[in-house]
Amino acid sequence: MQGAQLVDVVDCRCILGEGVFYSAGRQEIIWVDIQGCKIHTLHWQTRKHQTYNTASRICWLKECENGNFIAGFEDKICLLTPAFLTKTVLWTLPANAKNIRLNDAKVDRTGRLFFGTMDDLEVSPVGQLFALGSDGGVKTVQQDFVVSNGPAFSPCGQFMYSVSSAARTIYRLKLNASGNYSEAEIFIRFTEENGFPDGITVDAENNIWVAGWDGFGVFKFSQQGRLLEKLSIDVPKVTSVAFAGPDMKHIAVTSARKGLSSDDLNNWPGSGSLFIYSVPVTGIPEPYIIN
């Protein structure tokens, strides 16, 4: 990718690094290792890296405007303290949700939380995309995912981009101020060479950035869905991407070691690391969940 420069690598060796975002208030990059049951933080100025163990698989974290966090664990959503301690369980998967777990989540421009589920065996289209209401209830937005990833939201908040990873498809839905949305339309299809679309974000110029699982990089698309550039990374399992830093002119990219053989890890020893690049575009700060 023209103008992108690698500035740091955190050798955190995540089994399944995911859910990266930048907390402006804490000046930290925050991400999770789903399979490793860990929360990771990296302070922007000091580069101090810390880890916090969780009792079960943690799939994502999102920051509230009061400093608390809402976390998606494999089977429930919880309110956490700023020190990542559980305060309250907000929602749980139905008891009959066999082999289904939470996967990815994002906050829209108005502070609403959207989160997805997936088939833990990655075979059946039982995953859904939900919106979490202020009353703790959930509303189904999309269904029939093997693996739901994202979503992401355009800078103006008018469009939501939702990822069906196994189908190599990114959908676009139109949103309004009341949280209603249009039927999903196919927006981007990944080729086999690009791998499978995973985590997703947008920049201030309306471009869409997508991590490529088995794609060795991050792919940048225009707001019309045209592939513009690829940022090549020397690891196969690229999982999520977010803009970071006080000026939002860097990206943080997570990766995974899951599914790699010992030979693979010898060939790509950086697998599972967090990568930080300076880029010639500006991102958008991560919205807070409005409490």
Per the annotation, the verdict on 11 as an active-site residue is no
Cα–Cα dist 255/6, whole Å: 15
3-state secondary structure of 84: coil
CA distances (Å), 120 to each of 27, 177, 183, 204, 243, in order? 33, 33, 26, 34, 28
User: Measured between alpha carbons, how far is 166 from 113 in angstroms, rounded to an integer?
Assistant: 23
Nearest to 109 by CA among 70, 158, 76, 145: 158
Q: Distance of CA 223 to CAs 45, 48, 119, 129, 154, Å?
A: 33, 36, 30, 22, 9
Contact (CB, 8 A) for 218 and 238: yes
Are 256 and 270 a contacting pair, CB within 8 Å? no
Using the structure block, give the residue that is written with the tokens 């609403």. Answer: 112
Which among 91, 143, 88 is positioned nearest to 113, based on CA atoms?
91
DSSP state of 53: E
The span from the CA of 103 to the CA of 72, in Å, is 8
Q: Which of 33, 119, 120, 198 is catalytic?
A: 198
Cα(206)–Cα(224) distance, rounded to whole angstroms? 9
* Residues 60 and 77 sit within 8 Å (Cβ to Cβ): no
**Phi, psi values for residue 264, rounded to 5°:** -60, -45
Catalytic residues: 198
